[in-house]
Amino acid sequence: MSVVIETPNSPRTRNQANWEKYGWLFMRISGPLLIVLVFTHLVVNLVLGEGIKAIDFAFVAGKWADPFWQYWDMAMLWLAMIHGTNGMRTIVNDYTERVKVRTALNTSLWAVCALLILLGTLVIFTFDPCPAGAAADLLPSFCPALTS
Amino acid sequence: MVTMPAGTLYRGKVGMWSWVLHRISGVGIFFFLLVHILDTALVRVSPEAYNAVIAVYKTPIIGIAELGLVGAILFHGLNGLRVIAVDFWAQGTKYQAAMFWAIIVITIVLVAAFTPVHLARVFG
């Protein structure tokens, strides 16, 4: 059986956005940014001070008391999720043969991506470092002491 | 007689293996990222919930697995720069194999330096 290839009677039109090219470009722009964001995240959280030992609620509250780290983590969240989801999409496109399977997987990927970006962003900006009723020894030191 | 297929510039060489490692490390980091966003979201539930889940990251087995995670992130990030160099730098293809080995060495050195520091905290 021979494969029928359409005769290219006219050159390819380029009046539409070239999404594959933008995706390719996004990976190359977000990648170096993520190196700075993630490598700094690893040094600050896992190398400096007491590293993993120090990580608890009070540690996170201390970091997010500073808008600098809120926006740092937000940028990391958005870029890493989109970069990772687009990478997964590339892999799905490589290994799926049936269009329905491919569409289902890619739709799930972007749905999870949107959901986690929304969740993470809400968590960063609605975070309460001194929740009422929490044990005082679990809270950062700047929380007002509870009067009993 | 069965003969091995003739080699190419790509197949079976660092070009192919860097691509394989980039995919595997990328998928691993992606699934960790999903878990990590969810565990961090627990700060919005209660300090107790967050601390209980974060305590898992300080256990010996997960603590050792974190060395693999750090290594995967280092390799994936540095190899991504190599891919960009191959795409945009005129000498990129000429030095792609040398860059791959440099990345392997840098990753091993950094993980080796981080390992005693991290494990002392996990087991200490």
Domain extent listing, chain A = 21-129
Please, which pLDDT band fits residue B6 given cuts at 50, 70 and 90?
Answer: low
pLDDT of residue B97: 95
Q: How far apart are CA B81 and CA B65, in angstroms?
A: 25
Decide if pLDDT at A44 tops 70: yes
Can you tell me the distance from the alpha carbon of B85 to that of B80, in angstroms, rounded to the nearest whole number? 9
B31-50 pLDDT tens trace: 999 999 999 999 999 999 99
ipTM of the complex: 0.91
What average pLDDT does this structure show over A24-52? 97
Instruction: Note the pLDDT of residue B77.
Output: 98
CA nearest neighbour of B80 among A87, A14, A139: A87
Show the domains of chain B with their CATH numbers: 23-123 (1.20.1300)
For residue A56, the distance in angstroms to the closest alpha carbon of chain B comes to: 5
Please give the CATH number for the structural domain made up of A21-129.
Answer: 1.20.1300.10
> What was the pLDDT predicted at A17?
75
Contact A34, A76 (CB under 8 A): yes
Model pLDDT, residue B96: 95
Q: What is the pTM of this model?
A: 0.89
| DSSP-assigned letters across all residues of chain A | -PPP-----SPPP--S--HHHHHHHHHHHHHHHHHHHHHHHHIIIIISTTGGGG-SHHHHHHHHTSHHHHHHHHHHHHHHHHHHHHHHHHHHHHH--SHHHHHHHHHHHHHHHHHHHHHHHHHHHH--SS-TTS-GGGS-TTSPPPP-
Taking CA–CA distances from B23, the nearest residue in chain A reads A91
Give the residue from B21, B38, B43, B64 with the most A CB atoms within 10 Å of its CB, the best one to mutate: B43
Using a CB-CB cut-off of 8 Å, the residues of chain B touching A135 are: 47-48
